[in-house]
Structure 1
Amino acid sequence: MDTQQNTALTRALAEVAGPLPASGVIHIAIPHTDRFTIVGNHLAQHPDLSCTAVGIAVRIQSLPQGVEVGIKALAAHCREGEKRIAAALRELEAFGYLQRVRDRLPSGQVITRTVFCNQPTALLRPRRPAAPQHPAAPAPRPAPAGSPAEAPTSAPGQAPAPAPASPPEPDMPALPPVPSPPLFAAPPAPLFVPLLPPPTAPKPPPAPLPRPDDLTPELDRAATALLSDLRRHAPQFTLSETDVRHLVPGVAAWLERAARPDVVRRILTTDLPHPLRHPAKLLKHRLTALLPPPLPGSHDLAAPARPRPTVTPFQTCDDCDRAFRSPTPGHCRDCREHREHREHRSEATRTAA
């Protein structure tokens, strides 16, 4: 019985932009119109948070204000037990996503508020206070040239109008704005490093195709024959003559390193992606990335020689002809002690005399 194909899924896959990857996940992105929550990749792909902690954080972030998010309240709606939920909340608190702040009500009662921040690293940056907005005063009319400025007059019975304030001096420097303290202190979270670079990141240059030390006619002929014979084993590798001449140095480098032709053929034609769109590029990648090292020589495989221990030679004592070990000739230990004792006595005798 054939497997039923999901026509809706097939139609959605056909609408995905660009070629579909041969392996890994394929995203079908359908825009949300209601009931959705924006979650940052710093949380969804956090390298140090467990999947349970990430899921609990997404659950808390999707709840409205004022909903209870304690251990028992979360355990009543999640399949995880209270121990796993408590451990996940401790992880979120360690990285600054969850904070418990003590606050005093106007009545004097002290309560504990649970605060969840969707981007804790932003709290570490000081916030600039908003500039106060004042209504702009109408600009005074410029006085005509050559006539003195008229003083404001007041009606009879009224107090005289105040004189206009003098404009501020232009040389006074403006005071810098004082940053306001953050809402609550959060521990420094590690900087998030994305697993994949952004699409706009510059790509490193591709590695060059390996080349042999000496491309002899025998290596060139063997590499050309191997590449031309690949289509017998895998019809996808029906290469053009230009591709064969371009890939010959890479195959020759493998053969120069004592790789057998059947081994090279098996490595190049095994586990192929479907569909194979660029066979020459795949061969160049495998010849470059999977190049084996040169075979070691006989001197490389030889065990290192152990250093011989230094043997102190035998010497003969000049006084008693006793054998003793010493790097230089002289007297044995007993004779040296006897000579030192005798010299000491003679020195004491001369001092007494």
Structure 2
Amino acid sequence: MDNHNLSAPTCAQPLNPRGITHINARHTTRYTVVGNHLTQHRDLSLTAIGLACHIQSLPSGTRVDIKTLAARFPEGETRIAAALRELEAHGYLARTRQRLPSGRIVTHTVSYNQPVAAAEPKPPTTPRQPRQATSPSQPTAPAPEPEPEREEAEPAPTPKAPLPEPWTPDLESHRTATILLATLHHHDRRLVLSERDVRRLAPAVAAWLERGLSPDAVHHALVSNLPPRPRYPANLIAYRLTEFLPPQAPPPAPPVDETALPRLRLHSCEGCEHAIRTPAPGAYCHDCREAGAGTATAA
């Protein structure tokens, strides 16, 4: 009987790959960088993730309303509206309604590719360990695949004190306050407020206007020295409106009512017998005093 050859190759095993295999080609044109915090989000639906990737790939100025997206994709208006609400709830989208000078109401949409990109301290990096040499007979254990990072939502800060309100509500001041809040993003695109936030904060701005400040002064107080990455612009504006409220100016003094002053009684002038108002009898009128003064000077 022949000896068993230990160096003979084993039988071919059937290919049984586990998981996905990536074959990546480098893009040089027409590509969009999307973070794994979106593509591997655990709370968003697949429709919302795909819709967010599509919106981030569009150039600025492209319409992304529900009817336009429903005409582009087969999901329909109901599923697209639900996906937009998901993205808005997780900070990837912000929508505000604005009234044009013509009176028409339009929706302004802002897309964020990194909604929770806060200036958080990075974990310390460990020094790189030298690679250990392995013998050919010792198999190398495959490195475990890192789990996708899940970003936790930070609780929204709320102002401690209640928002100020005007003493006497004025429709014109409220209209000016609404326009001022709805156009804050013209100065800084991060200050996009929802319609609900504008309605909530408008009385506080009207209270500032009631205290004698001009709209430009209120605007400067709200947008100056902003933090690098404001997460919650509505709460930031509410905090400034509450904590930086200017003092109430004292009311102007009422005009003097001359009719309420006590009037002197009429008495006869000792020189010409004309009636004059004096505190007591025995006084002279202006003309008699001038004549008496002139005579006394000539003497």
For the aligned pair, the TM-score class normalised by the smaller chain equals: 0.3 to 0.5
Higher relative contact order (CA 8 A, sep 6+): 2
Give TM-score, length-normalised by structure 2: 0.34
Give TM-score, length-normalised by structure 1: 0.29
| Structure number with bigger Rg | 1
